[in-house]
Amino acid sequence: MKKNEATRGRFIVLDGPDGAGKSTQVKLLAAELEKRGVTVKSLREPGGTALGEAIRALLLNQTTIHIDALAEAFLFQAARAHLIREVVGPALERGEWIICDRFTLSTLVYQGYAGGIKKKIIKQLSSAAIDGVKPDAYIVLTLPAKTSVDRRANRSADRMESKGETYLKNVFNGFATESKKRGSPYKKVDGQGTVEEVQKRIWSHIERVLTAVQSSKFKVNGTIGFTLRACKIIN
């Protein structure tokens, strides 16, 4: 992003397997940031635009059209590319913060680890879709597979959740493998416990991002103020 780091918005992602509580935590995090005067836009993938929501309905909410893993990957990336260009990029330039429910890791896990598409291909597609826009914090909520199943027991499974035990096992393996790699950009957060406990764990990471932003703004404003005072003295 070309915009000054002190005024650029920040991009936060919450990811993880189904049942991890991402949607709830996105709402809580947005509210917490807004209390601190931050302008926040909450998004989900796929979604966030008319095109994205149409693709979401096709991928998750229908069972009459067969869509293989490679086609899924292209559809997810199409929605992502549109979201980045139409919503995320412009919002960051305006200084707004973005909190997104899922991002590139989900595609790598669901269509790569579980769907069998080569991970190199998934990463190349993601790179083209995001066009250099990367999260400032990427939180991955973790929990045991049984807990995920228990949490989802009282709601209908979507198309991705209905792919069987082996598929879901590979999903959990994918998230675990990627989040523990050396140099990984992902911050693992335990998704077990009460909603409030998980919220506190997430906030411990995001608070650092907010503090860094506030510090950079202080430095910029301090430099401007010093320059103006120096000009007055010289004049």
Whether the predicted pLDDT of 230 surpasses 80: no
pTM of the model: 0.89
pLDDT score recorded for residue 216: 77
Domain ranges of the chain: 11-234
For residue 135, give the amino acid letter: P
Whether the predicted pLDDT of 1 surpasses 70: no
pLDDT score recorded for residue 228: 45
pLDDT score recorded for residue 37: 96
* Alpha carbon distance 142, 187 (integer Å): 10
Is the distance from CB of 137 to CB of 190 less than 8 angstroms?
no
**pLDDT tens digit string along 153-210?**
888 889 998 999 999 999 999 999 999 888 889 999 999 999 999 999 999 999 999 9
User: What integer is the mean pLDDT of 80-85?
Assistant: 98
pLDDT score recorded for residue 233: 54
Is the distance from CB of 110 to CB of 183 less than 8 angstroms?
no
Exposed e or buried b for every residue in 131-165, given b needs 16+ CB within 10 A? eebebbbbbbbbbeeeebeeeeeeeeebebbebee
Measured CA distances, 22 to 180, 187, 213, 223 (Å) = 19, 14, 24, 39
* Alpha carbon distance 120, 50 (integer Å): 29
In sequence order, the β-bridge partners of residue 99 are 12, 42
Measured CA distances, 91 to 60, 99, 231 (Å) = 27, 11, 34
User: What integer is the mean pLDDT of 117-144?
Assistant: 97
pLDDT score recorded for residue 11: 98
Which CATH number fits the domain 11-234, given the four candidates 3.40.50.300, 3.30.1540.10, 3.40.50.970, 3.10.180.10?
3.40.50.300
